[in-house]
Chain A
Amino acid sequence: MTTPESPTTPREPDVQTDAANERAIVASTAPVEGGTTDYLRNYVRRLRGGDMGSLPGVTGLIVLAIVFSLAHPQFHTIFNFGNMFTEGTATIFIAMGLVFVLLLGEIDLAAGYTAGVASAVMIRLMVGYNWSWWGTIPAALVTGLLIGFIVGWLVSKVRIPSFVVTLSFFLAFQGVMIYIVQNGKGQKGDIRITDRVVNAFANEQMPKWAGWFVAALVVAGYAAVKLLAALARRRQGLAAEPIGVNASKIAVLAVISFFIVYLLNQNRAPNKNPVAQNVNGKIVFVKPSIEGVPWVVPVLLVLFVAGTFVLSRTRYGRHVYAVGGNEEAARRAGIAVDRIRISVFVLSGFMSAVGGIMIASNVQSVSVANYGGNTLLLAVGAAVIGGTSLFGGRGRLIDAVIGGAVVEVIQNGTANLVNGQNSSAVQFIAVGLALLLAAAVDALSRRRAGSTGMG
């Protein structure tokens, strides 16, 4: 975009000292002191230039949450709130892997059934060979890595378009998954999970204090990173985000984190009347209780933080963006483009396997039906709705989280709203339209950036 005093306007060759020129550059980089208004002005300029960031996703999330709450009181119960965490996170794991792939302008249509095959391997080893979670979970993850490597190799070395490779595997892995669940030692078909740890991710909660502790850790970590970076930049005379902006971001994160933990720490069991339970042969009455943050949440946080660090702070991450932005420029800069391309599919395979385990944990079983076509499409939808571009070069892991929340709210909200046989029809249509809308925003903002980018 061009700024008001467009740099393309011819300037008189004014006689200025070099020092003055230097000052001009440093001063214009960004506001060093105060400057919250400048910061906001800059932000608005970026928005108008087509760089929408998380704004559409967050707006959508808020609007949808309000609409569903008004339309259907069941939606904003804390029971449902907790449910959305355990239902929705699997999509987010897969979507985080897809962000890496989408950053290169590629697609992984096999992600859903990669999750399926990984879970099938896990369950077969569990029920057929009595492996415990510490064997089955790594086996599932390695399966995901291997699949990712094969896909990446076919795309970057054999040079088959990723759309075709992963479409083929979308079909083939469905078959592989069916084969693994229908054959071999142990149960067949819809196989129940008996391993407590695997089930715990979605069905057991952290102690209350641990929830608070995690929230505090998240806020403190974020604050430390932001403030230390700002201080270091100021010391070196570089422009930094204004302290006011830093503080507001930290405050918003703190309010959200602690509020979520507060809600999840309430007893969210829908029916709190005591029920009879058989404890060691004795019948006792206990009050049903579900309280605390589900274990899947800290797992998500760890992978999110690690992935975000890799993408934004390391050389590898920088190279992923570069290859996605201009492959030729990356190659000329000496970046091993093929290796980067393989690596993003490997990461996608890994994250799909994690997502697969979480899907299994949520329903406490592995069956082919749970990994069908919509697993993948929901994940792609999540990444794109969150703001990751389908054209490559633009995307962050937070997109997967925000978009995943939007997708889950739509799924859950429409399911509550429309009961009966049309419920899933409405779900499909709603999520499909949301994805289409997000893709339209993506395409239009890209056009906008293109039309205003060059002077």
Chain B
Amino acid sequence: MADEPSEPILELRGINKSFGPVDVLKRVDFSAYPGQVTALVGDNGAGKSTLVKCVSGTYTIDSGEYLFEGRQVHVHNPRDASSLGIEIVYQDLALADNLDIVQNMFLGRERLKGIVLNESSMEQSAQETLASLSVRTVKSVRQRVSSLSGGQRQTVAIAKAVLWNSKLVVLDEPTAALGVAQTAQVLDLVRRLADRGVAVVLISHNMNEVLQVADRIAVLYLGETAAQVARSEVNQQQLVELITTGGLGTDRPGATNGVPA
């Protein structure tokens, strides 16, 4: 999969972000490729969520270059990001419990027939999207989200990204609250998403998970890019060392910056 990477769809160069006196991101480089799962790892407080919020437009970057599909773009709010085709699946998922799956997937982008909601068209598309992702765990798309399990909710949130033909999907710790079986299902879904040509960024603290599903791995250490490597370049031990110390003894793979071998 990682053999012939195309151009990165997202490329961040030298991103700085500070909150008052606190420099949270320092000259961060990061790229994500279509059809690949890029894991974004780092210890608590390393700046992963902050970086994602810069990508999504929740925060604006202080300085640095934000390139999307090779062009420099200015993302000032979440709407800018979603119009570029960037979808963020936050850990709290932001689904309305009182609405059903279809209603949630189309929230804010409802299809109309005149002034009336076109329910059957939305329902069909939602079903097709779930089917195309081979989702088999959801009984009915007219189920309320409140009746879904954590893994199913994650599934709905991811399917929403697919429905909108997003080019880049960022998942912030999608498996943090899930059991073994549901984690496997979500990772499976993440893989399928990438296989469809979507660039997937996966934030996770689980090393096994990262090594299992990622094509590329980016490590943040205290707000700096410690490494951007292909999955094949590191083993678990090296990855843990990168996360905890920001380097690898003598030789820093961060030098290979962005281009998988």
Using a CB–CB cutoff of 8 Å, the interface residues on chain A facing chain B are: 1-3, 7-11, 18, 21-22, 24-26, 28-30, 49, 51, 232-233, 236-239, 313-315, 318-319, 321-322, 324-326, 328-330, 332-335, 393-394, 449-450, 452-455
Nearest CB of B to A29, in Å: 4
User: Given A10-B180, A454-B150, 15 more contacts at CB 8 Å?
Assistant: A7-B137, A8-B181, A10-B181, A21-B131, A29-B127, A326-B95, A328-B92, A329-B95, A329-B104, A330-B96, A332-B78, A334-B79, A393-B96, A450-B146, A453-B97
Check B134–A21 contact: CB distance below 8 A: yes
What residues of A have a CB within 8 angstroms of the CB of B136 in the complex? 11, 21, 24-25
Q: Is B116 an interface residue (CB 8 A)?
A: yes
Q: Is A332 in contact with B94, judged by CB distance below 8 angstroms?
A: yes
- Count the B residues whose beta carbon is within 8 Å of the partner chain — how many? 50
CA A8 – CA B147 in complex, angstroms? Answer: 12
- Cα distance A239–B149 in the bound complex, in angstroms: 23
Given A7-B139, A332-B78, CB of A455 within 8 Å of CB of B148: yes
| 8 cross-chain pairs, A with B, having the tightest CB-CB distances, nearest first | A455-B149, A333-B108, A10-B181, A325-B96, A325-B98, A393-B98, A329-B94, A22-B131
Residues of B within 8 Å of A328, CB to CB, are: 92, 94
Q: Is the CB of A314 within 8 A of B94?
A: no
Q: Which A residues are CB-close (under 8 A) to B78?
A: 332
Q: In the complex, A449→B143 CA distance in Å?
A: 13
B108 lies within 8 A of A335 (CB) = yes
Q: How far is the CA of A333 from the CA of B87 in the complex (A)?
A: 11
Q: B209 contacts which chain A residues (CB < 8 A)?
A: none
Q: Is the CB of B116 within 8 A of A313?
A: yes
What's the Cα separation between A454 and B97 when bound, in Å?
Answer: 10
B149 touches A2 (CB 8 A): yes
Interchain residue pairs with CB less than 8 A apart (15):
A10-B184, A18-B134, A22-B131, A29-B141, A29-B142, A237-B124, A238-B120, A239-B142, A318-B107, A318-B117, A321-B98, A321-B103, A326-B94, A333-B94, A393-B97
**Chain B min CB distance to A344 (Å):** 15
- Tell me if B140 and A7 are in contact (CB < 8 A): no
List residues of chain A with CB within 8 A of the CB of B99.
318, 321-322, 325
| Contacting pair B116 A324 (CB below 8 A) | no
Collect the chain B residues with CB atoms within 8 Å of residue A453's CB: 97, 146-148
**A residues in contact with B123, CB < 8 Å:** 238
Task: Give B134's nearest chain A residue, CB to CB.
Answer: A21
Compute how far the CA of A233 lies from the CA of B132 in the bound complex, rounded to whole angstroms. 21
Residue of A nearest to B79 (CB): A334
Is B211 part of the contact surface with A, judged by Cβ < 8 Å?
no
Contacts of A335 in B (CB 8 A): 107-108
Contact A314 B96 (CB under 8 A): no
Complex contact B142–A330 (CB within 8 A): no
**Taking the complex as formed, is B248 at the interface, i.e. its CB lies under 8 A from any CB of chain A?**
no
Residues of B within 8 A of A29 (CB): 127, 139-142
- On chain B, the residues within 8 Å of A11 by CB distance are 136-137, 181
Smallest CB–CB gap between B170 and chain A, Å?
A: 13
Q: In the assembled complex, which residues on chain B have CB atoms less than 8 Å from the CB atom of A22?
A: 128, 131
B97-A326 in contact (CB<8A): yes
Shortest distance from the beta carbon of B85 to any chain A beta carbon, whole Å: 15
Q: How many angstroms from the CA of A233 to the CA of B117 in the assembled complex?
A: 14
- Residues 125-168 of chain B, each 1 if its beta carbon lies under 8 Å from chain A, else 0: 00110111011111111101011111110000000000000000
For residue B95, give the distance in angstroms from its CB to the closest CB of chain A: 6
**Is B112 an interface residue when CB atoms closer than 8 A count as contact?**
yes
How distant is B261 from chain A, measured CB to nearest CB, in Å? 31
Q: Which residues of A contact B117 (CB under 8 A)?
A: 313-315, 318
Q: Chain B residues near A237: list those with CB within 8 A.
A: 124
Answer yes or no: B60 CB below 8 A from chain A CBs: no
Question: Which chain B positions have C-beta within 8 A of A329?
Answer: 94-96, 104, 107
Q: B112 CB to closest chain A CB, in angstroms?
A: 6
Tell me if B49 is interfacial: C-beta within 8 Å of chain A: no
Asked if B110 is an interface residue, CB under 8 A from chain A, the answer is yes
Decide if B22 is an interface residue (CB 8 Å cutoff).
Answer: no
Q: How far is the CA of A267 from the CA of B149 in the complex (A)?
A: 58
CB of B127 within 8 A of CB of A25, answer: yes
A238-B124 contact in complex given A7-B138, A25-B131, A454-B149, C-beta closer than 8 Å: yes
Q: Which residues of A contact B128 (CB under 8 A)?
A: 22
Residues of A within 8 A of B150 (CB): 454-455
